[in-house]
């Protein structure tokens, strides 16, 4: 579709559009008429040939995709760790050794948050558990949150 035809369909209320300000849509780079509101940065949302054309939503979806992928990856890692902790506590109980954590691939350096007490005990907070690590005895006590 030619840009002139597209502009007529996007802005039917504007009879003789002018383009002296040289504004374009940030997504599809179609020209925005000078008569349109000055803050407009995207084409208006319309139904074109039975399909919804929404440049603003498409642009923001594309911009947020990488960040959403990172968040999904982090969430899946946390869920997997919680499932492995559940499996380990079912077999080994609530007090385990470092060897048990290693066998179940539970990495204490990847919690949601952690704190270190004055006596040296490390508390690692995971999705559904908190693990108390005693550095002297190298044992770990696992409690639900």
Q: What is the pLDDT of residues 49-80, one digit of tens each?
A: 888 889 998 888 887 888 888 889 989 999 99
Does the pLDDT value for residue 132 go beyond 90? yes
* In the predicted structure, residue 1 carries a pLDDT above the cut 80: no
Domain residue ranges in the chain? 3-53, 80-144
Global pTM reads 0.59
pLDDT mean over 117-143 = 91
For 103-129, the pLDDT digits (tens) are 999 998 889 999 999 888 999 999 999
Cα 3 from Cα 135, distance rounded (Å): 69
């Amino acid at each position: 579709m030619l840009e002139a035809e597209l502009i007529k369909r996007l802005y039917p209320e504007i009879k003789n559009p002018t383009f002296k300000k040289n504004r374009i849509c940030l997504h599809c780079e179609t020209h925005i008429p000078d008569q349109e509101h000055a803050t407009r940065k995207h084409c208006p949302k319309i139904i074109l040939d039975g399909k919804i054309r929404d440049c603003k939503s498409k642009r923001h979806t594309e911009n947020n995709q990488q960040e959403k992928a990172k968040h999904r990856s982090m969430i899946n890692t946390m869920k997997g760790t919680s499932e492995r902790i559940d499996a380990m506590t079912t077999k080994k109980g609530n007090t385990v050794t470092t060897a048990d954590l290693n066998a179940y691939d539970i990495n204490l350096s990847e919690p949601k948050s952690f704190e270190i007490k004055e006596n040296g005990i490390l508390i690692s907070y995971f999705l559904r558990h908190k693990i108390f690590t005693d550095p002297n005895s190298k044992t770990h006590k696992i409690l639900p949150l």
